[in-house]
Amino acid sequence: MNTHHVPGSDLAVAARTVRTWLDEADRVLVTAGSGLSAAAGYDYGNQERLKELFPALHRMGLRSRYIVGVHLPPALWWGYWAVHIDDIRYTPGPNPLYQRLRALVSDKEHWVMTSNVDTLFARNGFDPQRIFTPQGDYGRYQCTSPCLRTTWDSHPLVERLLAAYDPATGAITDPAALPRCPNCGEDVEINVRIGPQFVDEPYLPAGNRLQEWLNSADNGTRLLILEFGAGFNTPGVIRTPGEHLTRHLPGARLVRVNPSHSQIPADLRDQALPVPFSTDRVLDALDGCGPNAVGAPSAR
């Protein structure tokens, strides 16, 4: 596919364009992939953090938190998930990068669509009713069958697992702590999209509301899509839909912030801006661009 990329783009120039487009927009759709959470301090590829949290698994050769396809016995599998989810999903306190993003769009009508399953948007002030997470949520788990098209709160499960977790071995020491389906008693898994068994019913209402919001725009509505950290792991979730919307909605524009994969299709070169810099650098550059400059969010 032909793409358009601006080699050596000037950050200050790009920031001024983003600020102009944002000021001109009537609505903003924030879209995000794993690169945004990595920039915010949750990098699944960070080997030092992995070694710190999972010393036993690191000794066994694990080098990334992307463990889909890794075969571990249940005691190690659930030891990993308990520590991982506790770190990613239930870490208390605000995240500065996400709060700066909230400040950036706070005076615009906006929605969020993200492939991330860490709820960092909702945990940092974005309206939970205006966030679509089609890939799931670490805060829920489901039957692997599934016997029911429903999910359950993972927090009590994680707490029970951590109480029986041995950091030295990376394993759950009490077999009774290993989770089972509350309905049928069979195996369970975290409610994230890794196969056709994924229970997506909890997320469909938000997806429908987002579609209604997009459909409600008239031909004069100016939509700005701000895309952060969406690469090619699952391009059909964030990148491709953003490009589709830009092509088919009158007045839509796309800003693609990604230090490694900021390329845009050639046919969108007049409606899209590739910004080959990290999110924090872009926000820093926006600080000095106009009266609505990004600053620290006000206390809630």
> Top-level CATH class of 3-41+95-134+200-286?
alpha beta
Binding-site residue set: 143, 147, 181, 184
Residue 93: the pLDDT is 87
Domain ranges of the chain: 3-41+95-134+200-286, 47-91+139-192
Residue type, 100: R
What share of the chain has pLDDT > 90, as a percent?
83
Distance from chain centroid for Cα 42: 10
Tokens of 127: 């309206």
Cα separation, 146 vs 202, whole angstroms: 14
Residue that has been written with the tokens 């997320």 in this structure: 203
Angle between helices 11-24 and 279-286 (to 10 degrees): 70
Q: How does pLDDT run across 106-149, given as a tens digit for each residue?
A: 999 999 999 999 999 999 999 999 999 999 999 999 999 999 99
Mean pLDDT across 238-245: 97
Q: Give buried/exposed letters for 110-136 (b at 16+ CB in 10 A, else e).
A: bbbbbbbbbbbbbbbebeeebbbbbbb
CA–CA dist 167, 164 (Å, integer)? 10
pTM for the whole structure: 0.91
CA dist 125 to 84, 95, 102, 112, Å? 23, 10, 7, 12
Q: Which residues lie across from 141 on neighbouring strands?
A: 152, 190
Binding-site residue ranges for Zn(2+): 143, 147, 181, 184
Between 9 and 83, residue with greater pLDDT:
83
Q: Which amino acid is residue 129, in one-letter code? A: Q
pLDDT of residue 300 exceeding 50, the answer is: no
The beta strands (E) that lie in the chain are given as: 3-4, 27-32, 109-114, 131-132, 136-143, 152-153, 165-166, 171-172, 188-192, 223-228, 253-257, 264-265, 272-275
For residue 103, count other CB atoms closer than 10 A to its CB: 18
Rounded mean pLDDT, 83-91: 94
